[in-house]
Structure 1
């Protein structure tokens, strides 16, 4: 694994004679294995990286993981040269919220008021995926994610190569217990309570390299408290506690000169020496490269990671896409965000609304309930996405908070068991006094006052995102670029309805007694329906049948991951689909049964008939649980073969028209106009 740092400065890019050795570019780190490249953040350092990649010509199936969308982590995005090269392929992943997607966030900095080109002017094939806590596979690198303590949704990343080499990238992050910013990280020995700071340390336990935010030192923290950044003392102590091998001090303050960084580095090394530690500490610098090799034969997901933080659910595309399997019997889940179809509601017990004014912009509706004897009854009636309670600091408030939390957990059924329960406390001393009792009662998160509006909004969004959700968006296949290219080459997307396809879906509807049959083609970010036999209520109560849905909520996106037919007898009982909007949304399809047969066409680049791409499905859908027998599966495969032949005929018609240029030929074939969707 080769790690290259292209930008290590925090907050703003700078150029100055005193910033030569460590550099002035903002966050950008490149990680390479033999077959995979991951770019961590797109600060101003991404410009130089982009120039290098253009010269090398390595521009397909590349990956970007953004920690968050503050300017110093995305300002290089519009200047990244590979984005302006046709045929370049990039997958962008970043923390997702509820009100807008990562693509929409990145588009905002490229609106015409701020930039001469819009995000739609980028010529590369770029896919965007929103992430939360969990895990995902990126090429031959397994990635775990964890929320960091910043004033906007921020993810830390732990990357493990196939040979067991590990690095972690955690920027920007402030200690949950702010006293640790000054005193350093302390883990209580023999304690059964695992604090948020403990979980953060466990996340990067045993890694070969940790790149961590160390923008400040303890003596500065009184001026920077609440900014969302760590101190060197806090990070060094965590590394010593969990066996990190090498620490790279990162996100240097923009006012920090080279000499001052040297002094901080020496202080960190002295701290390690005083603790008799073996941790190697360096200061990250622009245009530096490190080669990491694993000589210990560590297993996948190093044993250094505690059971409380090991990611869990893996979508195994080689295992016929069966319901997600657990890893080490934990339940953290896929890292992909489930875009929630309806606004999220938070019930708040708080006398002041000033700190929560911005929630509406986050796609969250705040409902304020007086903290009295009827509080729990109102909460149980509304069943919000999160409950937030303000603790005033006295014993009566403690008793009330604990009793109410217990009642919600006991009387709320499945919702009451899963709902996040967040409590704000007036100071750190109060938290330490009541935390054990509160955790036992079912409190899921704590926030110490005072806090900024952006901070509490982020913690609310984090709590909702962590909520158990039985929905796994489909994995993107490794051959995605070639697969989409083959689909577009058919020139079938966005064409008018045709009887030859409609006859097949209509016949399937009758043969299988299905209220909905679709010929669904899975495009980059959507599934588009070439034909549909629709004999069930239209979603939303309208008269117009949908022509497409998002790929992230599609069942067909799962079906194209295998050559075998995907059968879901009852979606409400399947961990991959139970909370999918197409299953659970009040005005949606309410899918219960799904059966999808992949549609395959030859690989247009290889010329080998056996090499085929799965471009979509012929699928059967019902709003009641069903089963399908082997004879029916055979029939469905025969119908799918008919669709495949018509799709290939579609392409042959195009080739004939282009070869002859004959208006008469085009007219006689009654060929509808086609648009290639790029």
Structure 2
């Protein structure tokens, strides 16, 4: 590992299977456990796409990586409990907003002494480290138990944008994606393959910022991006193209091979997202709207 600082040490979801530890080390697999933005959305109209907030698991080069710890992290944790063996994994947070960290207190494997988790994030807009943000949300009166009750080994790392994390032959590169939210994106590279996780795109980015993002995701085999949206009070389905156009434009301009759009708005029900899927694929045939349980294999 290099270029980062080591810090002081409920919605209905269909049954899903975890990526098995026996998966060959020469595989590159992406699995979605939470695809909702802003808040969890438990409702019969969101069953197909899912109502849990952001969480993506990547198994690459024999390493287990997790990106964001929304409520989907709880579901992932339940499947990992069934593995019945010590687990080592790396958790990367894009920012410290509640929809990215709210599943962490319910991540059951973190309470098991044999497990080990490396946790990465950048400083929040108020300067708080990722460790401080996770610690604060587990304090009374927000949560009945402090972070210290987690018996697994937790190692925290303070990242800076434009730095690399090296896990043997797997390299995770960071970039600042949204200055206002202090959000970072990640690019996972292994052999000749790469996946870019860039989930804080916004419609009004300045030209310099857009060019930096395009360079960061250029030529990726898979881009995971958000559907940009307006605040909940002004969400308007009549302008649905605005929700996904930024992600599609980025994918086309950067020459990525495939696009998965996630972080769906809480008001976007299944039937609406089905219609959006048709529009998105007409603009970029290799695009898909992510749903909970979706598994993508990265290959040329």
TM-score (structure 1 length as normaliser)? 0.38
Q: Hey, what's the Cα distance between the residues in 2 that align with 1:84 and 1:104? A: 18
1:52 corresponds to 2:79: yes
Q: Hey, what's the Cα distance between the residues in 1 that align with 2:168 and 2:233? A: 43
Equivalent residue runs for 1:232-381 within 5 Å:
232-272=244-284, 279-294=285-300
1:176/1:196 contact within 8 Å kept: no
1:150/1:174 contact within 8 Å kept: no
C-alpha change, 1:56 and 1:168, in structure 2 (3 Å) is same
C-alpha change, 1:12 and 1:267, in structure 2 (3 Å) is same
SS of the aligned residue for 2:140 comes to coil
Q: Hey, what's the Cα distance between the residues in 1 that align with 2:296 and 2:205? A: 32
Whichever of the two has the greater Rg, that structure is: 1
C-alpha change, 1:140 and 1:171, in structure 2 (3 Å) is same
Q: Hey, what's the Cα distance between the residues in 1 that align with 2:132 and 2:65? A: 22
TM-score (structure 2 length as normaliser)? 0.83
Shift of 1:86: 0.6
Give the paired residue count: 265
Shift of 1:215: 3.9
1:159/1:167 contact within 8 Å kept: yes
1:90 corresponds to 2:117: yes
C-alpha change, 1:260 and 1:136, in structure 2 (3 Å) is same
1:5/1:287 contact within 8 Å kept: yes
- What residue is the counterpart of 2:166 in the other structure? 137
C-alpha change, 1:172 and 1:80, in structure 2 (3 Å) is same
C-alpha change, 1:222 and 1:44, in structure 2 (3 Å) is closer
1:30/1:39 contact within 8 Å kept: yes
Q: Hey, what's the Cα distance between the residues in 1 that align with 2:142 and 2:233? A: 35
1:176/1:197 contact within 8 Å kept: no
Q: Hey, what's the Cα distance between the residues in 1 that align with 2:173 and 2:246? A: 22
- What residue is the counterpart of 1:174 in the other structure? 202
C-alpha change, 1:95 and 1:171, in structure 2 (3 Å) is same
Shift of 1:283: 0.5
Equivalent residue runs for 1:55-134 within 5 Å:
55-57=82-84, 59-96=86-123, 99-133=127-161, 134=163
Q: Hey, what's the Cα distance between the residues in 2 that align with 1:250 and 1:75? A: 17
C-alpha change, 1:8 and 1:124, in structure 2 (3 Å) is same
1:94/1:131 contact within 8 Å kept: yes
SS of the aligned residue for 2:56 comes to strand
1:205 corresponds to 2:218: yes
Q: Hey, what's the Cα distance between the residues in 1 that align with 2:143 and 2:228? A: 29
2:40/2:266 contact within 8 Å kept: yes
- What residue is the counterpart of 2:11 in the other structure? none
1:159 corresponds to 2:188: yes
1:214 corresponds to 2:227: yes
Q: Hey, what's the Cα distance between the residues in 2 that align with 1:253 and 1:96? A: 26
C-alpha change, 1:177 and 1:286, in structure 2 (3 Å) is same
C-alpha change, 1:19 and 1:143, in structure 2 (3 Å) is same
Where in structure 2 are there 5+ consecutive unaligned residues? 1-27, 236-241
Higher normalized strand content (fraction of residues): 2
C-alpha change, 1:222 and 1:42, in structure 2 (3 Å) is closer
Shift of 1:151: 3.4
2:71/2:103 contact within 8 Å kept: yes
Q: Hey, what's the Cα distance between the residues in 1 that align with 2:187 and 2:131? A: 23
1:196 corresponds to 2:202: no
Q: Hey, what's the Cα distance between the residues in 1 that align with 2:89 and 2:232? A: 38
Q: Hey, what's the Cα distance between the residues in 2 that align with 1:139 and 1:19? A: 39
1:35/1:139 contact within 8 Å kept: no
2:121/2:129 contact within 8 Å kept: no
C-alpha change, 1:106 and 1:210, in structure 2 (3 Å) is same
Q: Hey, what's the Cα distance between the residues in 2 that align with 1:241 and 1:58? A: 44
Q: Hey, what's the Cα distance between the residues in 1 that align with 2:258 and 2:89? A: 26
1:89/1:124 contact within 8 Å kept: yes
Of structures 1 and 2, the one scoring higher in RCO (CA 8 A, sep 6+) is 2
Higher normalized helix content (fraction of residues): 1
